[in-house]
A and B are shown apart, each in its own frame.
Chain A
Amino acid sequence: MSAVDQMGAAAWLCLLAPLAGTILILLAGTRISRAAAAWISTGSVFVAFAGAVWAFLVLHSQQNRSGTIWTAWTWLQAGSFKVGLQVLVDPLSTMMMLIVSGVGALIVLYSIGYMAGDDEERRYFAYMSFFVFSMLMLVEGGNLLLLLVGWGLVGLSSYLLIGFWHERPSAVRAAKKAFVMNALGDATMALALFVLIAHSNSLAFTTSFATAGSLSQTTVDLVALGLLGGAVAKSAQIPLQTWLPDAMEGPTPVSALIHAATMVTAGVYLIARTNPIFEQARTIELIAAGTGALTLLVAGLIALVQTDIKRVIAYSTMSQIGYMFLGAGVGGYANGMFHLMTHAFFKALLFLGAGLAIHALAGEQDIRKMRGIGALMPFTKWCFLAGALALVGVPPFSGFFSKDPIIASTVNLGWYGWVFWVCGVVGAFLTGIYTFRLWFLVFTGPPSELVSSHFAAPAAADGNGAEGRGHGAHHGEGPWTMLVPVGVLALLATFGGWIQWPPKWEYVTDWLKPVAPTLAAAVPSSTQEYVTSAVTVLVGLAGIAVAWAMYGSGRIAVPKAASARQLLEHKFYFDELYDALFYRPTAAAADWLRRDFEEPVVLQTGPDLGQTTLDAGGLVRRLQTGLLRTYVFALATGAAVIGIVFLLVK
């Protein structure tokens, strides 16, 4: 096989293996054991990872890395408009394939231990494989329509997995909320694609990007705005962010895979992928950066007061995706993608570490009750610390290498560049506080009563908590299927950032150059880079120090600031605002229509119609005498009348 053929085979293998896993589990049903379903799913995602590695290695050995498309067949055809079922292998898609299938494989493996004993494990693993397939479809799709297909499918699998515990009303509500808010983004994206079809009669990446240059400014702004709408909804940025914290109702590995490592970062991938369009619409691109800057601050502030361990990490995810939007929006696509990668490592690690603690405490997620668990779970404690340091961006952990270039890349943009820079630095301070608030509260100090009770008598630790089922007696910190992925991710979170040491060695930037070259405006000078790094690290450490003073040693009392606290605990009243703006008017209108239209008009029409028909029938009934001679007489009279009329007219 030639090198190009090998890449194609690897890409198809990577895409189709998880789908095959899903189908196999669904068709086998209850004929296979739960463990078998779990291992089929895990195996299929590992096969996908092997395919991704294969594609990467072959692409790496090539001189020309601009990308190759394989078309399986023409999928849709309408006149001259054609869309093929295509996969694309280029530096950007290969990078995403590696992240999605690699982190995905680790998390599915972790799920084997986490979900053991759940009533519907087979369904869970079928959904997990299906999600990995959808996400790979999104990143490998060879044209914009397939990207949108993947976009919709990840929304579906996210919905299915958030609502996995479907007997819990809160989970069902959260799933619906996520689906509806994502549908808004899907709709704006579809509109953007319609505009592109109207102008270029094609959804191929190359044609669309070439056309973008010849469109009027308004049109290209509209297209970019539509795409940005999709990105904002999927990546939980302001103003479509409220679904993500609620999505924590799903099982923890789902939160790690979908709502931290892969799906929610798809918006960043979309901006990087369609960067030629966004560069034509520079205003919209800067709006994307501004959205990111705003979100990273707002989410960082809200994370300060949350008490649910998963929600703190969820807000941190929103905040970090804000950084990625900021990086991609100012034109440093490689910075955004690099942060996406390191974030996938350390955020998956944090979620899985939190999952270990939740699992050990039979579903308890309130950080005020989890205090001191670190003394009893040292492995979890140190892995979580690695993730936390990476998140804050302390060297040499991975977040340091990926976050600082993003902040540094904003300085050359004029006054709003400085605003972005300040937002980024303040965000780093907030990150330090909320991350280590979590760390000091949960992992340090003497174990709380709840924690000791779970570890003293494991047999009694059966489920009465929120995620209680199947989280029964445990030995040590968890089964090996859970500990191994956490260990691997801890290594990745620690060392994964070392593939890029800006400004000296920029492997990721060079790798992505054929597809998403960094804009000149987003390249800081070396001095700016070093100064920003120093400031950011110092500010992050200051955040850690504040957290230690408040929550670790208790030297400073936590500020009361009741009104600010209330504002943050209500998440800046976004949910209340949307309730008042959209939900209540709609519900009131529906109520009004039912009371004043449906009940009096629609419901009354049927009986009225029936009664009228009955009355008319009563009148006509009398014509039927049943006497043959009346009928004959009527016939004869009629014939005679017609005859006379005929004669007269003639």
Chain B
Amino acid sequence: MLGPGVAWYLGVAAFLFGTGALGVLVRRNVLIVLLSLEIMLNGGNLALISFSRHAGNGAGQIFALAVMAVAASEVCVGLGLVVALHRRRLALDVDRLSELRG
């Protein structure tokens, strides 16, 4: 096997996931939250692919492709919501969008 070992890949994947999670937790702008979500998903994808390669089994890669498709749909919906919020001149701040409070 060429290149660095699987641990390195997993390290990068964990870093991406952690970055994304931190972004979702601390940022208030809806767009940035969405962006952070994408980063988390891609961290997950990287882990899947590296395990797939490590195990010599293609299933993980197929899974990653499926996650990408889901991510693409999610972005469509998410950005659509952002545009709709903007059109209604609402603040793009997740803390102020709390109408579902019980």
Contacts and interface: CB of A to CB of B under 8 A. Distances in A.
B25 interface: yes
B33 A628 contact: yes
Nearest to B97: A628
B24 interface: yes
A622 B101 CA distance: 8
A636 B40 CA distance: 12
Interface string A155-181: 000000000000000000000000000
B25 A632 contact: yes
Interface in B1-60: 21, 24-25, 33
A626 B99 contact: yes
Contacts of B24: 632
A579 B27 CA distance: 83
Contact of A625 (B33, B97, B98): B98
Contacts of A633: 25
Given A624-B100, A629-B25, 5 more contacts: A622-B102, A627-B94, A628-B95, A629-B95, A632-B24
A625 B25 contact: no
Contacts of B33: 628
A627 B21 CA distance: 16
Contacts of B98: 625-628
B87 to A, nearest CB: 20
Query: For chain A, which range describes its interface: under 10, 10 to 19, 20 to 34, or 35 or more residues?
Result: 10 to 19
Contacts of B101: 624-627
Contacts of A625: 98, 101-102
Contacts of A622: 102
Contact of B21 (A621, A626, A636): A636
Contacts, number: 33
Interface of A: 620-629, 632-633, 636
Contacts of B21: 636
Question: Chain B contact residues: over half helix, strand or loop, or mixed?
Answer: loop
Interface residues of B, number: 12
Tell which of B94, B99, B102 has the most Cβ of chain A within 10 Å: B102
A639 to B, nearest CB: 10
Interface string B50-72: 00000000000000000000000
Nearest to B99: A626
Contacts of B94: 627-629
A624 B102 contact: yes
Nearest to A622: B102
A77 B22 CA distance: 75
Nearest to A633: B25
Contacts of A620: 102
B79 to A, nearest CB: 17
B39 to A, nearest CB: 14
A626 B97 CA distance: 8
Contacts of A624: 100-102
Given A632-B25, A636-B25, A621 B102 contact: yes
16 contacts: A620-B102, A622-B102, A624-B100, A624-B101, A625-B101, A625-B102, A626-B98, A626-B101, A627-B94, A627-B95, A628-B95, A628-B98, A629-B25, A629-B94, A632-B24, A636-B25
Contacts of B95: 627-629
Contacts of B100: 624, 626
Nearest to A628: B94
A636 B100 CA distance: 20
Contacts of B25: 629, 632-633, 636
Contacts of A632: 24-25
A623 B97 contact: no
Q: Considering the complex of A and B, which 7 residue pairs feature the smallest CB-CB distances, nearest first?
A: A626-B101, A624-B102, A626-B98, A621-B102, A628-B94, A626-B100, A627-B98
Nearest to B95: A627
A242 to B, nearest CB: 67
A432 to B, nearest CB: 92
A630 to B, nearest CB: 9
Contacts of A623: 102
Nearest to A623: B102
A209 B97 CA distance: 87
Interface string B82-102: 000000000000110111111
A621 B24 CA distance: 25
